[in-house]
């Protein structure tokens, strides 16, 4: 009893320290905040070059059919997907078709290092391999190998920890948010910093490896990449090898961006995305890997597709209504959504590009009181005040743009409210989907396409590469931190930090949406 009493005191003291920190740090309850811009530091480079193929972080470090590019993804609270690649990619006009049955697909798994009590066989595809598990215990560490034991070609031992079951008192330790990553030196810095943050889950909000750009000639939906970047290596489409040390032990959940479209012959699109990445579409009632949902402890996460139909007659809209109706806020108090292209964006780049999607879906997300929305696409950072329909609203979501992972297209530095930087409506047109650009009907920007000053719904913006970390503390408070790549990674160095506070009593779901 004495030990339990001491332990209880420690927990109470920790709880008190946590809330003491809340008092000193800004929260969304103090908002809306006056718009703030931190201009791009001219002493920094806006971008960096791609990693060369012989860089040890992306160089192939296995031979034959041994597994590489091992990654994890959530399937359900009691199951995990394991994916990997075997063999060398073939590039050129005369490639030899591979027989997926020639390589076995096994995962050995157990709760102790070297003690694999479960052995499962999976399915193989020419392009990628995906392996579902069932019956894992939540909040438990597992050790695993994968590959083909008949050759033998099994990987080294890896480990992962399952997330807690859905519930109001259990949350992932940290969730990392990354967008528009690429394969540059900046990209590796981002992943190094994410790894140092020790997340238990990674959300990638689109534009992963920019694989569609690595072609020698232009084509529909893609420019001549080698013309723009003559010194960049021409590589096959692959998940960055430098991510394996992280995502072989931490699940990564992905959603498609425009660079995953990859237009090919015969109208084929999204081939790499659909084949490489395992997502719980079936588990969440979706019939498409372009949109799905999952639970991470007391958080219900909705991943939406910006490059498939989303209007009110679409399958995605119908699925979203059903998914939101099933959310039990007593079990998963936090409701988080993510998609690639931001609705609220004050940069010139991609300004109002997805206004159609906002007009179709915003009312639905507002009705069900989504707490936070994450997007990428714009290569910079921006955090909004709570907003709905371009109006400050204490019950609207906090929108955050983290399209600052480090890709070769450089940091976006121009704002739509800068003099001479307001784009033409014809400048920002999505690769897939309609256009709904509008002039504002009221407020400081009435009758205009762009604001003359930083919009009141834009709380903070900065042009830098980086990543974000979300730490949900309880049913009402979550700590959001944005880390910049140029900063020395320390706990006390932050590009932006704020407590996001839910107010369920004053922001109850209301109304009904009619299909």
Q: What helix, strand, coil percent values describe the chain, rounded to 5?
A: 20, 25, 55
Q: Rounded to whole angstroms, how far apart are CA atoms 480 and 470? A: 5
**Which alpha helices (H) appear in 349-496, and where do they start and end?**
355-367
What's the rounded Cα separation, in Å, for the pair 299 and 481? 18
Which sign does the torsion angle of CA 140, 143, 145, 150 carry? negative
Best CA proximity match to 131, nearest among 35, 63, 222, 67: 67
Instruction: Provide the CA 19 distance to its chain's centre, in angstroms.
Output: 28
Look up residue 97 and give its DSSP letter.
Answer: P
Neighbours of 239 (CB within 10 A): 24
Query: What's the CA gap between 28 and 502, in Å, rounded?
Result: 9
Kindly name the residue from 350, 377, 379, 483 that is annotated as catalytic.
350
Q: Is 185 a catalytic residue?
A: no
* 305 contacts 256 by C-beta, under 8 angstroms: yes
Q: What is the 3-state secondary structure (H, E, C) of 339-382?
A: CCCCCCCCECCCCCCCHHHHHHHHHHHHHCCCCEEEECCCCCEE
Q: Are 336 and 301 in contact (CB under 8 A)?
A: yes
Distances (CA, A) of 346 to 291, 421, 431, 447, 465: 26, 11, 20, 17, 17
With both helix axes pointing from N to C terminus, report the angle between 315-326 and 355-367 in degrees, rounded to the nearest 10.
20
Contact 284, 456 (CB under 8 A): no
User: What is the full DSSP assignment across 285-332?
Assistant: T-S-TTSEEEEETTEEEEE--SSS--STTSHHHHHHHHHHHH--TTT-
- Reading the block at residue 449, the tokens are 């396409």
The secondary structure of 209-231, three-state, reads: CCHHHCCCCCECCECCHHHHCCC
Which two three-digit tokens encode residue 57?
A: 């972080």
Active-site residue set: 350
């Amino acid at each position: 009893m004495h030990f339990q009493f001491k332990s209880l005191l420690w927990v109470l003291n920790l709880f008190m320290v946590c809330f003491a920190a809340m008092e000193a740090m800004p929260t969304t309850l103090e908002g809306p905040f006056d718009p703030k811009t931190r201009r791009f530091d001219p002493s920094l480079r806006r971008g960096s070059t791609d990693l060369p193929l012989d860089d040890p972080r992306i160089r192939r470090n296995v031979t034959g059919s041994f597994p590489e590019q091992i990654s994890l993804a959530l399937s359900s609270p009691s199951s995990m997907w394991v994916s990997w690649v075997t063999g060398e990619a073939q590039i050129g006009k005369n490639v030899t078709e591979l027989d997926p049955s020639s390589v076995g697909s096994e995962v050995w798994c157990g709760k102790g290092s070297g003690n694999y009590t479960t052995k499962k066989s999976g399915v193989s595809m020419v392009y990628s391999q995906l392996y579902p598990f069932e019956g894992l215990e939540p909040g438990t560490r597992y050790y695993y190998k994968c590959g083909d034991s008949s050759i033998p070609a099994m990987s080294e031992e890896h480990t992962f920890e399952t997330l807690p079951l859905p519930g109001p008192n259990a949350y992932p330790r940290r969730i990392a948010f990354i967008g528009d990553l690429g394969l540059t030196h900046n990209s590796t810095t981002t992943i190094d910093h994410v790894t140092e943050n020790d997340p238990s889950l990674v959300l990638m909000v689109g534009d992963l490896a920019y694989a569609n750009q690595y072609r020698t000639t232009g084509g529909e939906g893609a420019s001549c990449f080698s013309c723009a970047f003559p010194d960049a290596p021409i590589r096959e489409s692959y998940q960055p090898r430098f991510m394996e040390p992280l995502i072989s032990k931490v699940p990564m959940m992905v959603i498609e961006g425009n660079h995953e479209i990859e237009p090919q012959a015969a109208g084929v699109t999204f081939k790499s995305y659909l084949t490489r990445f395992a997502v719980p579409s079936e588990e969440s009632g979706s019939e498409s890997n372009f949109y799905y949902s999952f639970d991470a402890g007391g958080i219900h996460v909705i991943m939406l597709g910006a490059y498939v139909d989303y209007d009110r007659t679409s399958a995605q809209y119908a699925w979203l209504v059903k998914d939101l109706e099933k959310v039990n806020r007593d079990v998963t108090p936090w409701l988080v959504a993510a998609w690639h292209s931001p609705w609220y964006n004050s940069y010139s780049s991609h300004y109002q590009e997805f206004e159609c999607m906002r007009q179709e879906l915003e009312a639905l997300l507002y009705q069900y009181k989504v707490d936070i929305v994450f997007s990428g696409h714009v290569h910079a950072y921006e955090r909004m005040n709570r907003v709905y329909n371009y109006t400050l609203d204490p019950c609207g979501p906090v929108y955050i743009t983290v399209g600052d992972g480090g890709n070769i297209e450089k940091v976006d530095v121009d704002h739509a409210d800068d003099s001479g930087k307001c784009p033409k409506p014809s400048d920002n047109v999505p690769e897939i989907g309609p256009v709904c650009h509008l002039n504002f009907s009221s407020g400081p920007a009435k009758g205009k396409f762009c604001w003359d000053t930083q919009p009141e719904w834009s709380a903070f913006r900065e042009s830098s590469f980086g990543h974000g970390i979300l730490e949900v503390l309880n049913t009402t408070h979550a700590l959001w931190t944005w880390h910049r790549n140029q900063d020395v990674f320390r706990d006390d160095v932050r590009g932006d930090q704020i407590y996001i506070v839910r107010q369920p009593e004053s922001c109850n779901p209301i109304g009904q949406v009619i299909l």
